[in-house]
């Protein structure tokens, strides 16, 4: 028995040590971020126009990434179909792709981007790397980050919307669920977050929701200059309040923060391709947005 005692004590020490080893801190996987951007904006996706085969390929890829991350679908599945009529009267089916991480409470922050783009025009593929493969890959990166760490305070819904380019159709379909919307306290929307030669990224929405500004002013921005603005009605076409998928949330009275860059030479051009993206700026941009979501989750 005396010989077994040291072995027994050693075993107890090893087990106790194993139990006290902290989980590694979650990290933003910027290598995967770049891979996702490259795949989503590739020629294989044929510009991701809603209702096309290329759009379906992009949707399948997003679903496969959510599955790899291990994040649960929102509702009965990741894909949420909706229909709408085009100007010519024809009906088109779109599909939002939604996933969720339960929080300590059932109040919700929706983290969104749109995965559709303009498709093929005059034999040119409009790959939409910045618009908005960048935001879509950002949603995947944030989903992966939060799935590694401790439970967030708010339930997080990761939404990649379809048919944004045709009138914010996917976001409009999403917010029609009024019962669910009562639980949403914030929409963080990403649209065009990877292309800027001045190291500038705008956080839009504080004109309408001024309580958000002092929170956002505490965000660690790194090498990026985070600016406020583009959200007051006196700006005319420079008012971005309804320029992307945050618009339908705002119309329902849901506060939003929209992260985006100003228009650039590749905006809605066939040159908006993976090869034109300044990767370091993009990585820093997504890190800034992650920092913002972490603070907003704690303070709202």
The predicted-structure confidence for 136-182, as pLDDT tens digits, reads as follows 999 999 999 999 989 999 999 999 999 999 999 999 999 998 778 99
Judge if the upstream peptide bond of residue 132 is cis by omega within 30 degrees of 0.
yes
Kindly report the average pLDDT of the chain as a whole number. 92
Quick one: pLDDT at residue 21?
A: 55
Quick one: pLDDT at residue 24?
A: 76
Quick one: pLDDT at residue 86?
A: 82
Which regions of the chain does DSSP assign to beta strands (E)?
72-73, 79-85, 91-101, 108-114, 119-121, 124-126, 155-161, 184-190, 200-204, 225-228, 256-260
The phi and psi torsions of 299 (rounded to 5 degrees) equal -100, -15
Quick one: pLDDT at residue 57?
A: 98
Quick one: pLDDT at residue 210?
A: 98
- Confidence class of residue 13 from pLDDT cuts 50, 70 and 90? very low
Quick one: pLDDT at residue 258?
A: 98
The phi and psi torsions of 5 (rounded to 5 degrees) equal -60, -50
Q: Which domains does the chain have, with CATH numbers?
A: 30-299 (3.40.630.10)
Q: Among the residues of 29-168, which ranges form H helices? A: 30-40, 53-69, 134-148
Decide: 285 and 201 in contact? Cβ < 8 Å: yes
pLDDT tops 70 at residue 268: yes
Decide: 142 and 293 in contact? Cβ < 8 Å: yes
Q: pTM for the full model?
A: 0.92
16/215: higher pLDDT: 215
Among 237, 228, 38, which residue's Cα sits nearest to residue 127?
38
* Averaged pLDDT, 27-48: 98
* Averaged pLDDT, 226-235: 96
Quick one: pLDDT at residue 23?
A: 62
pLDDT tops 50 at residue 15: no
- Confidence class of residue 7 from pLDDT cuts 50, 70 and 90? very low
pLDDT tops 80 at residue 16: no
**What gap in Å lies between CA 71 and CA 102, rounded to an integer?**
10
Quick one: pLDDT at residue 98?
A: 98
Reading the block at residue 218, the tokens are 């505490």
């Amino acid at each position: 028995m005396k010989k077994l005692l040291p072995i027994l004590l050693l075993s107890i020490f090893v087990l106790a040590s194993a139990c006290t080893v902290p989980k590694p801190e979650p990290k933003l996987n910027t290598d995967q971020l770049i891979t996702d951007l490259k795949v989503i904006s590739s020629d294989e996706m044929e510009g991701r126009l809603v209702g096309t085969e290329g759009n379906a390929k992009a949707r399948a890829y997003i679903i496969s990434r959510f599955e790899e991350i291990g994040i649960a679908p929102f509702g009965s599945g990741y894909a949420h179909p909706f229909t709408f009529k085009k100007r010519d009267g024809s009906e088109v089916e779109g599909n939002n792709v939604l996933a969720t991480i339960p929080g300590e409470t059932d109040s919700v922050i929706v983290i969104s981007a749109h995965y559709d783009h303009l498709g093929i025009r005059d034999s040119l593929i409009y790959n939409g790397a910045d618009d908005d493969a960048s935001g879509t890959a950002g949603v995947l990166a944030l989903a992966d980050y939060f799935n590694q760490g401790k439970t967030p305070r708010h339930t997080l819904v990761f939404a990649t919307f379809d048919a944004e380019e045709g009138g914010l159709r996917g976001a409009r379909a999403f917010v029609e669920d009024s019962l669910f919307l009562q639980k949403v306290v914030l929409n963080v929307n990403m649209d065009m977050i990877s292309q800027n030669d001045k190291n500038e990224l705008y956080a839009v929405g504080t004109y309408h929701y001024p309580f958000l500004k002092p929170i956002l002013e505490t965000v660690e921005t790194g090498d990026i200059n985070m600016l406020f603005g583009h959200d007051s009605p006196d700006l005319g076409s420079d008012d971005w309040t309804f320029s992307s998928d945050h618009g339908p949330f705002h119309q329902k009275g849901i506060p939003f923060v929209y992260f985006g860059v100003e228009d650039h030479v590749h905006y809605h051009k066939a040159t908006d391709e993976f090869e034109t993206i300044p990767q370091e700026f993009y990585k820093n941009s997504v890190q800034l947005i992650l920092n913002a979501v972490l603070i907003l989750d704690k303070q709202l």
